[in-house]
């Protein structure tokens, strides 16, 4: 019977591949990989012999239908993997999963490693509820707006970040979310695994002092329980055009002169005329 297994693979330490994951990959007829070069190394270590086919973010939409037909028509046991961690979690795979499900092919998860879940588990934060956001926007303005949006919605958030932007992210958290706490994990489960904890300012000092900060893979957990966002600036309500006309007339203008003044000041001509007609009816 045709089936697709979604198998989590190690995020660093190869011993983290579950016995069930290893058995599933060993029995596979086809392995669908994010990057065949990366997955080939895993296959060589464990002796997996199934043929590999690439399916990544840039070709997934076009390749998914053909892969699904192959799985169905040849009655294959296929395995979907990503470079590291759980497929479809900030990684490719969702198109293949959706297409298989729509074709009636069983899709079965083989759970295991996930950097986000691992980071949350060692954060020490109250994570009975949390949200995962993957990679945040790169532009400073967009990043700060996104951080504010996140803080309005959840109390614990998990994000991924590039080693080249981890300092920018930490600075943005410090400036945008006063009262936040951070757990910054680098190279989880790998030989040089490191975790930083504290306020954004404290974490930032350590990151800037480390000449190797721009190496590794980062997963960040934000504790937003203590964040106090500034109140948005109140904007005065826009006066109706009729009120503006009356205000001009109180200064000594005629109704016609008041109309000309508002139009010269940028008010729409039709709106001013309509407001003047309304006032004329009231005056009458």
The pLDDT averaged over each successive group of 10 residues in the chain (284 residues) is 97 96 98 97 97 93 94 97 95 95 97 96 96 95 95 96 96 95 97 96 96 94 92 66 88 88 88 89 77
**The pLDDT value given to residue 234:** 59
**Residue whose tokens read 């951080």:** 147
Superfamily of domain 3-113: Tetrapyrrole methylase, N-terminal domain (3.40.1010.10)
HEC letters along 1-58: CCEEEEECECCCCHHHCCHHHHHHHHHCCEEEECCHHHHHHHHHHHCCCCCEEECCCC
Judge contact between 203 and 184, C-beta under 8 A: yes
Q: What is the pTM of this model?
A: 0.77
**The pLDDT value given to residue 188:** 96
**The pLDDT value given to residue 235:** 56
All CATH 3.30.950.10 domain ranges in the chain, comma separated: 116-223
**The pLDDT value given to residue 230:** 73
CA dist 241 and 101 (Å) reads 58
> CA 234 → CA 14, 119, 166, 244, distances in Å?
55, 39, 34, 21
CATH code that applies to domain 116-223: 3.30.950.10
For residue 209, what are its two tokens?
A: 């002092």
All CATH 3.40.1010.10 domain ranges in the chain, comma separated: 3-113
């Amino acid at each position: 019977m045709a089936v697709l297994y979604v198998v989590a693979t190690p995020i660093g330490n190869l011993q983290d591949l579950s016995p069930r994951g290893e058995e599933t990959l060993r029995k596979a007829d086809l392995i669908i990989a994010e990057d065949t070069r990366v997955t080939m190394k895993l296959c060589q270590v464990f002796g997996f012999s199934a043929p590999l086919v690439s399916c990544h973010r840039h070709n997934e939409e076009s390749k998914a239908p053909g892969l699904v037909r192959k799985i169905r028509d040849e009655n294959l046991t296929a395995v979907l993997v990503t470079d590291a961690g759980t497929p479809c979690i900030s990684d490719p795979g969702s198109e293949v999963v959706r297409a298989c499900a729509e074709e009636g092919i069983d899709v079965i998860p083989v759970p295991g490693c996930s950097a986000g879940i691992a980071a949350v588990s060692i954060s020490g934060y109250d994570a009975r509820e949390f949200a995962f956001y993957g990679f945040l926007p790169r532009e400073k303005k967009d990043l700060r707006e996104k951080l504010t949006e996140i803080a309005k919605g959840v109390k614990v958030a998990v994000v991924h970040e590039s080693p080249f932007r981890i300092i920018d992210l930490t600075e943005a958290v410090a400036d945008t979310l006063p009262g936040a706490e951070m757990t910054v994990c680098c190279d989880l489960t790998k030989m040089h695994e490191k975790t930083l904890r504290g306020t954004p300012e404290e974490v930032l000092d350590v990151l800037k002092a480390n000449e190797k900060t721009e190496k590794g893979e980062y997963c960040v957990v934000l504790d937003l329980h203590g964040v106090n966002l500034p109140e948005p600036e109140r904007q005065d309500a826009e006066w109706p055009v009729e009120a503006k006309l009356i205000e001009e007339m109180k200064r000594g203008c005629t109704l016609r002169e008041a109309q000309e003044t508002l139009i010269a000041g940028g008010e729409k001509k039709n709106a001013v005329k309509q407001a003047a007609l309304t006032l004329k009816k009231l005056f009458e």
